[in-house]
Amino acid sequence: MTSINISIKKHIVKYGVIYGFFWIIYGIIRYSTGYGRASNWWLSTVELFIHISVIIYGLDKYKSLNNGFLKLSEALKIGIGITFMGHIIGMIWHVLLKTVIDPEILNQILEAKRDQIIQNNPNISSELLSQKIKQTKYYSIFWLEITLLGIYSLIGILVSLIAGAIMHKKRKL
Q: What is the pLDDT of residue 95?
A: 82
Collapse the DSSP code of 113 into the 3-class scheme (helix H, G, I; strand E, B; otherwise coil) and give the result.
helix
Assess contact for 58 and 79: CB atoms under 8 A. yes
Collapse the DSSP code of 70 into the 3-class scheme (helix H, G, I; strand E, B; otherwise coil) and give the result.
strand
What are the CA-CA distances from residue 11 to residues 18, 59, 71, 112, 158 (Å)? 11, 9, 15, 42, 19
pLDDT in tens, the chain (173 residues): 455 678 999 999 999 999 999 999 998 898 888 776 666 788 889 989 999 999 999 999 999 999 899 999 999 999 999 999 999 998 888 888 888 888 887 777 778 778 888 888 888 888 888 888 888 777 766 777 888 889 989 999 999 999 999 998 877 76
Domain locations along the chain: 8-167
Assess contact for 23 and 86: CB atoms under 8 A. yes
Phi, psi of 169 (to 5 degrees): -155, 120
**Global model pTM greater than 0.95:** no
Q: Which residues of 10-32 are buried (b: 16+ CB within 10 A; e: fewer)?
A: ebbebbbebbbebbbebbeebbe
The CA-based dihedral angle spanning residues 127, 133, 137, 140, taken in that order and rounded to the nearest 10 degrees: 150
